[in-house]
Amino acid sequence: MADYVASMMDAATGGENKYPFQGPDDLLDRTPVRIIRHFMEIVDRELLPAEQIDYELNAAMKNRQIGVVTAIGSLIRENGGEIPFLLMISKKS
């Protein structure tokens, strides 16, 4: 297992936070969509366990040279409402 960090910005409010998480050593070798899915499963299971969340991904890209995945989309809350986000995932330094 390797250590990663996800930096997420709420596009509606400008609020941002960093979320450390663990994943397979080869996580950044996977497609951007699979990398984001891994993180979102952690969000659903560990970061927001009291609320079922889903997400809609509008774009995802990977910069292989610097090892960063960038995504834009929306978190969809079980009790209604969408939260637009900008997400960047990289190995923790």
Please report the pLDDT score of residue 51 as a whole number.
76
DSSP 8-state assignment for residue 32: H
Terminal Cα-to-Cα distance of the chain (whole angstroms): 14
Q: How far apart are CA 37 and CA 26, in angstroms?
A: 14
Q: pLDDT, tens digit, for every residue of 58-91?
A: 999 999 999 999 999 998 888 778 889 999 999 9
Which pTM value belongs to this model?
0.89
The confidence band for 13, taking pLDDT boundaries of 50, 70 and 90, is confident
Please report the pLDDT score of residue 63 as a whole number.
97
**Burial, 52: exposed, middle or buried (Cβ in 10 Å; 0-12, 13-18, 19+)?**
exposed
Of 57, 83, 54, nearest to 71 by C-alpha is 57
Residue extents of the structural domains in the chain: 2-91
Predicted confidence (pLDDT) at residue 11 exceeds the cutoff of 90: no
Of 48, 58, 59, 53, nearest to 19 by C-alpha is 48
